[in-house]
Chains A and B, each alone.
Chain A
Amino acid sequence: MIEVKNVTKKYGKFLANDSLDFTVRPGEISILVGPNGAGKSTIIKSIAGLLRFQGEILICGKKNKSLEAKRNLGYIPEIPALYDMLTIWEHVEFIARAYSLENWKDRAENLFRRFELEDKKNKLGNELSKGMQQKISICCGLLPNPKVLLFDEPLVGLDPHAIKELKTMLVEYKQEGTAILLSTHMLDSVSEFWDSTNIMVNGKIAASRSREEIIGTGEDLEKLFFEITESNKNAAEEVKS
C-alpha cells in the first residue's frame, strides 16, 4: 500500500508537487496522468525514496526511506539506467544478490522468456536498443516480487509484444495484491485495467476518480483529462494577457 500525505516538493523556487494526498491500496492499479511538467515523475521518484520532500510517504505502513519499505518497493524509471559493462543476465543477478533473494533464477528465466530476452542474456547493457534496455529495467524492478510497484511511463519504447505482456503482468500483480502506481501519457493503453486515477496539472492533483465513479457518472476519462488540462491552459493564458 502507498500512502502519500501532504507531500510538497520544490526545486529551488519551482513547486514541482504541491501538497499531494492520495493512496494506492493493495490490489489496485492507480494511474497518474497529466501534461508534460505536471509533476508525475517527481512524485514517483519521491515515493521511490530518490528525492527529498516535505510531508510523509508510507510504503506498507513504513516510511518510504526505511529498509522495510525498500524491500517492498519496485521502481521502473522512465529512462532505463543500465550498467554498460554488465550483461543483461548479470543485471538481474546483481539485483538478486543486492536484495538477498533466494531461488530467483526461475523467476528471472520466466521474466526473460516473457519479454523475449532469453537469447540475449550475454549482451552488454550498452549493446541494447532503448526498448531492450527498458525491458531489462522492468525485469530488475519486478524480480524482487515487491508489494508496491512504481512505473514511470513504462510503455514508452516497448514493442507491441512487450506492451501486451506488461499489461498482462500488471493485471497478474494486481490479482496477487500488489499496489501499482503508474504514470503515463497514453490513456488508451491503460484504459482496460486502471482502478483509480489522479489527473495532475502544475504539481497539483486537479481531479481524482475511481473506475466505479467514471462508470457510475458516465464520464469519459479522456474527455475529463482534456477538459481539465485545456481549461488550465486557457486560464494561464488569460492571466498572461
Chain B
Amino acid sequence: MKALGYLLLTTLKNRVLSIRKKPAYLILYGCIVAGIIAMIIISALSDEEVQTVKSYGDIRILYAILTGISILFLFSFVSTGLSTGSTLFSMADVGLLFVAPISSRKILLYGLIKQMATTFLSAVFILYQVGTIKNSFGLGVGTIFNLFFIYAIIIFFCQLLSIGIYIFSSGRPERKRLVKLIFYGLFAVTALAVYLQYIRNGGTILEAVLNLMNYKPFHFMPVMGWAVMFISASVEGNVLYVVIALLLFFLSSIVIISLFTSGDADYYEDVLNSTEVAYNKLQDVKDGKKVTVIKKVKIKEEQTGLQGGKGYSAIFYKHLLEKKRTGRFVFLDTYSILAAGSAGFACYLINSEFSVYIVLGILVYIQFFITILGKLSEELTKPYIYMIPEKSIKKVIAASMTTLIKPCFDAIIIFTFVCIFSKTSPLLNLFLALAYASSGAIFVSYTLLCQRIFGGQPNKFISAMLGLTLFMAVMAPGIGTSIAAILLLPKAFTFLGTLPFTFCCIVMTIFVFAVCGDLLDKAEYTGK
C-alpha cells in the first residue's frame, strides 16, 4: 500500500506544483475558489434578510431535476457499461501497477479513491449555483452542500455500475439482454408511476411528475429515488432517511465492488479494454480530433464497396459509405430525431407566434458545434485528400458535401415537426428550413476559413474568437434584416422574414469556398 499511497500523494503534489508553471490556470483556479467562497458568504449573510418575505418555487421541481439528472447519468453509464465500460485507471496504471506485485484489491481501492476525488472536483460547479438554488427554492447553504454531495455520489455510483455491468456482461449477449431488461424495466416502472399519479390526482403530466417526487415508494427506486430520498430528507431534517439513502448507495456499491473482487474474479482484463478506449478518447481530445463512439459494425458481403465516384467525387461516395455504416438512414440520425422532437415540444410549450424563431435560433446555435467537426475536418487529419491528383477546390467541395447535405435533411424533418406542433403555416416552415440548411453551409465555410488561415493546427482560443467574430460578422446583417423584415412586413408576408438571413448565408458560403478553395495546396498536413 506504501507504493500506492506514494503514487496518490506524489501525483497530487505534482499536480498542484505544476499549476505554478501555468499562471493562466492559477488565475482561473483562484477565481473559481474565490467565486465559490464569495457565493457562499453572500448566501449565508442574506439568509435571514429575505426568507421571511419571499415566496419560493416548488421544491419538487428541484427533486424532479435531480431525478432527470440521475436518469441521464444512469442511461449514459449503463450504455457505456454495455459497450466499452468505464474505467478507474489510466494507461500508466495498467502498464506499471497491474504488473507490479501489489494486491489487485489494493489497486482497486487506489482506483476508487482517485476516481472519487475526480468526481467530487467535477461536481464543484453545483456550488456555483448556491445563489440561484437559494433564491429559487429558499434552501440553506448546508442543504446545497448536500446537493453537491449527492450529485457527486450519483456520478461515482453510476461509474461503478458501468464497470460492474461491463464485467458482468462483456462477451455474454444473454447477460447484456438481462441488464437491458432490468434498466428498461426501471424506466418503465418510473413512467408507470407517473401515469398512476396522473390517473389518481388528475392535472397535467408535469403535475403528475411533481407529485411522484413526494410519493414514498418512489424514494426506494434505485439511484434516482435514493437521490431524491436523500435530498428531501435533508430539506425536511429527517436524519433517518438521509442515512437510509446513503446506506442504499453504500451497500449497492459494496455489491458491485464484490463482483470484481470476489473469488477468482479478475478485473484486470475487463478494465484493460475500457482503459484503452478511454485513453484513445483522451488522446483524440488532446489532439483536437472529433471524439466518436466506434460502434461494432458487422460487414455483409453485399453491402461493401463505394458504389460510385471517380477522382474527387470518390471522396463523397466514401463519406456516403461511412455514413451508411454508422447509421441506417444515412443523413438522418439520433440528432435529427432528438432535435425534431425537442423543437416540436418546445413550440408546443412556448405557444407564442415567435416560438418558431426562438427554436430556429437555438438549433442554429447547436448546429455550429456539430458542423465545425464535420467530414472536411475529419478528412484533413489523413494524408489521402492532399495526395489525390485533383484540384483542391473540387476535393474540398466533395469532402464537404455530406456535411452540407445533412442540415437539409434535418431541416425537413425538424420543421415538419415544428409545423405540426406550432400550428404555423407550411410556407413559413419551408423558409425556416431553408434558413437552417443555409446556416449549416455557412458553418462549413467557417471550418474551411479557419483551416485556410491557421493551417492544420488552428489555435483553439484564436479559432474560437475568430468563430465568434465571424459568427457575428456573417450572421448580424442576415439576422438584423430578418428581424426587421419580420416586424415590418405585412402579416401575409412574414413567412419571407428569414429570407435575408438565408440569402446572406448562401452568398457568404459561396464567397468563402471561392476564396479558400485552394486550402489543400496551401495548408499543411499535421495528422491532427
Contact = CB atoms under 8 A, between A and B. Distances in A.
B321 interface: yes
B265 interface: no
Interface in B312-339: 312, 314-315, 317-318, 321-322, 325-326
A25 to B, nearest CB: 22
Contacts of A50: 383, 386-387, 524-525
A114 interface: no
Interface string B285-328: 00000001010010101001110011110110110011001100
Given A67-B389, A90-B306, A85 B299 contact: no
B180 interface: no
A89 B304 contact: yes
Interface in A44-100: 45, 48-52, 65, 67-68, 70-71, 73, 75, 77, 79, 81, 83-87, 89-90, 93-95, 97-100
A128 interface: no
B310 A97 contact: yes
B384 interface: yes
A229 B227 CA distance: 65
A232 interface: no
A70 B388 CA distance: 7
A126 B294 contact: yes
A98 B311 CA distance: 4
A122 interface: yes
A124 interface: yes
A48 B383 contact: yes
Nearest to A69: B389
B383 A86 contact: no
B387 A87 contact: no
A117 to B, nearest CB: 15
A55 to B, nearest CB: 15
A97 to B, nearest CB: 4
B26 to A, nearest CB: 25
A42 to B, nearest CB: 11
> B310, B312, B315, B384: which has the most chain A beta carbons within 10 Å?
B384
A73 B387 contact: yes
Interface residues of A, number: 35
Interface in B12-50: none
Contacts of B304: 87, 89-90, 122
Contacts of A52: 522, 524
Nearest to B325: A85
A67 B390 contact: yes
A122 B294 CA distance: 17
Contacts of A100: 310-311
A65 B321 contact: no
A160 B111 CA distance: 40
Nearest to A51: B524
A75 B312 CA distance: 18
A86 B390 contact: no
Interface in B483-516: none
Nearest to B311: A100
Interface string A29-49: 000000000000000010011
A86 B326 CA distance: 11
B177 interface: no
Given A45-B525, A50-B386, A124-B297, A98 B305 contact: no
Contacts of B322: 83, 85-86
A118 B326 CA distance: 25
B2 to A, nearest CB: 36
Contacts of B326: 85
A86 B167 CA distance: 30
> B322, B383, B387, B388: which has the most chain A beta carbons within 10 Å?
B387
Contacts of B201: none
Given A79-B527, A98-B315, A85 B388 contact: no
Nearest to B391: A67
> A65, A70, A97: which has the most chain B beta carbons within 10 Å?
A97
B283 interface: no
A65 B527 CA distance: 18
B356 to A, nearest CB: 36
A49 B387 contact: yes
A111 to B, nearest CB: 17
Given A89-B304, A97-B314, A100-B311, A51 B525 contact: yes
A98 B383 contact: no
Contacts of B309: 97-98
A233 B383 CA distance: 33
Contacts of B299: 87, 122-124
B216 interface: no
B146 interface: no
Interface string A115-137: 00000001110100000000000
B236 interface: no
Given A83-B318, A97-B314, A126-B294, A90 B305 contact: yes
Contacts of A124: 297, 299
B351 to A, nearest CB: 42
Contacts of A68: 389
Given A81-B527, A126-B294, A97 B522 contact: no
Contacts of B527: 77, 79, 81
B105 interface: no
Q: 7 closest Cβ contacts across the A-B interface?
A: A97-B314, A50-B525, A70-B389, A85-B322, A98-B314, A81-B382, A85-B325
Given A50-B524, A86-B318, 13 more contacts: A50-B387, A50-B525, A71-B389, A77-B383, A81-B384, A84-B294, A90-B321, A94-B306, A97-B309, A98-B384, A122-B299, A122-B301, A140-B384
Interface of B: 292, 294, 297, 299, 301, 304-306, 309-312, 314-315, 317-318, 321-322, 325-326, 381-384, 386-391, 521-522, 524-525, 527
12 contacts: A48-B383, A49-B387, A50-B524, A75-B387, A81-B527, A84-B294, A86-B322, A90-B318, A94-B314, A98-B315, A99-B388, A99-B389
